[in-house]
């Protein structure tokens, strides 16, 4: 693994690479409240072993990348897509495959429309179709799902903040295949060490999403091959979301992954790596 920093104007974007430069380029895009370490190192290594050069990175307002201030919109989705292109440039990739999880899958859909010549394929994990109207997304959300911790309060100590992140991560676990607890706790503690959680960062990222508008025709304009992967035990997003994505795009395929939640456990890595390997160019 190697680390680096990409630049989009004054925004710095921390990233890490796995695999050989000759591998097929694959950019991993995080979800809301995540950091790049939310993509398990073992999963990234498995992708590299399958022939990819893998890059995971911190979005703006995440981890070691540039953070902003205030609770209102501080940037746009277009600027976040430009960040992705800056990471591609830093790795000398003219184009790349994208794999996005949750909100990262939404960003990937925008990237395919706004930068079509630089995106080879999309793999959308636990994602919902983008309509350019956030209200329409709620039809795919399970309740109480992401709101189960809405009234839980945490202290400001690093231990309490790590507990909060661990609890948020557990919201995405499958019933029959829980996440690895050692990994959950380790990633939560490391995330706090890398950058203390900022509740306003979530507000800023959500504000960017609310202000985003799709090109005319919406995601039906996505011409790249799209693989939508959703879990049958996702407690946050209905699997119908992935099926709808595959229906709306020009070249889509939907796979229902058994025993997968919103996030995925190590026993599922071979299946997911195999699906991505067969799909990517």
pLDDT of residue 71: 82
The partner residues of 12 in beta bridges, in order of sequence, read: 7
What value does the mean pLDDT take over residues 108-133? 96
Does residue 59 carry a pLDDT above 90? yes
What value does the mean pLDDT take over residues 106-126? 98
- Per the domain annotation, does 44 fall within a domain? yes
pLDDT of residue 6: 98
Domain count, the chain: 1
Alpha carbons 2 and 32: distance in angstroms, whole number? 24
Residue labelled with tokens 């231990």 = 159
HSE toward the beta carbon, residue 245, CA cutoff 13 A: 33
CB 267 within 8 A of CB 183: no
Which range marks the domain in which residue 225 is found?
2-142+200-279
Q: Among candidates 143, 185, 194, which has minimal Cα distance to 164?
A: 185
For 14, the 3-state DSSP assignment is strand
- Residue 160 in tokens: 């309490």
pLDDT of residue 171: 96
Query: What's the Cα-to-Cα distance from 92 to each of 22, 87, 169, 256, rounded to whole Å?
Result: 11, 9, 33, 34
- Per the domain annotation, does 72 fall within a domain? yes
Reported confidence tier of residue 72, pLDDT bands at 50, 70, 90: confident
Does residue 265 carry a pLDDT above 90? yes
pLDDT tens, residue by residue, 126-153: 999 999 888 888 999 999 988 899 889 9
- Per the domain annotation, does 250 fall within a domain? yes
What value does the mean pLDDT take over residues 42-61? 98
End-to-end CA gap in the chain: 22
pTM of the model: 0.97
User: To the nearest whole number, what is the mean pLDDT of the chain?
Assistant: 96
pLDDT of residue 272: 98
- Per the domain annotation, does 74 fall within a domain? yes
What value does the mean pLDDT take over residues 254-280? 98
pLDDT of residue 134: 80
Does residue 240 carry a pLDDT above 90? yes
- Per the domain annotation, does 221 fall within a domain? yes
- Per the domain annotation, does 239 fall within a domain? yes
Does residue 65 carry a pLDDT above 90? yes
- Per the domain annotation, does 165 fall within a domain? no
Does residue 28 carry a pLDDT above 90? yes
Alpha carbons 246 and 251: distance in angstroms, whole number? 7
- Per the domain annotation, does 173 fall within a domain? no
CATH number, domain at 71?
A: 3.40.50.1820
């Amino acid at each position: 693994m190697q680390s680096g920093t990409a630049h989009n104007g004054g925004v710095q974007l921390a990233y890490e690479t796995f695999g050989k430069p000759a591998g097929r380029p694959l950019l991993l895009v995080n979800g809301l409240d995540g950091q790049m370490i939310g993509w398990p190192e073992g999963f990234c290594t498995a992708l590299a072993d399958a022939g990819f050069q893998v890059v995971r990175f911190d979005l703006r307002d995440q981890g070691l990348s540039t953070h902003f201030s205030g609770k209102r919109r501080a940037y746009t989705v277009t600027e976040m897509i430009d960040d992705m292109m800056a990471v591609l440039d830093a790795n000398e990739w003219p184009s790349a495959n994208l794999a996005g999880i949750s909100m990262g899958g939404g960003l990937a859909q925008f990237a395919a429309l706004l930068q079509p010549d630089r995106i080879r394929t999309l793999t959308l994990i636990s994602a919902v179709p983008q309509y350019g109207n956030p209200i329409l997304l709620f039809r795919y959300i399970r309740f109480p799902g992401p709101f189960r911790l809405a009234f839980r309060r945490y202290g400001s100590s690093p231990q309490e903040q790590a507990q909060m992140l661990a609890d948020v991560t557990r919201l995405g676990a499958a019933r029959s295949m829980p996440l690895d607890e050692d990994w959950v706790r380790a990633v939560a503690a490391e995330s706090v060490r890398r950058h203390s959680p900022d509740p306003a960062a979530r507000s800023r990222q959500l504000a960017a999403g609310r202000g985003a508008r799709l090109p005319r025709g919406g995601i039906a304009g996505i011409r790249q091959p799209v693989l939508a992967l959703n879990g049958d035990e996702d407690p946050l997003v209905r699997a119908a979301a992935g099926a709808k994505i595959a229906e709306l795009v020009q070249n889509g395929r939907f796979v229902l992954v058994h025993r997968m939640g919103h996030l995925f456990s190590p026993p599922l890595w071979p299946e997911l790596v195999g699906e991505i390997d067969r799909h990517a160019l």
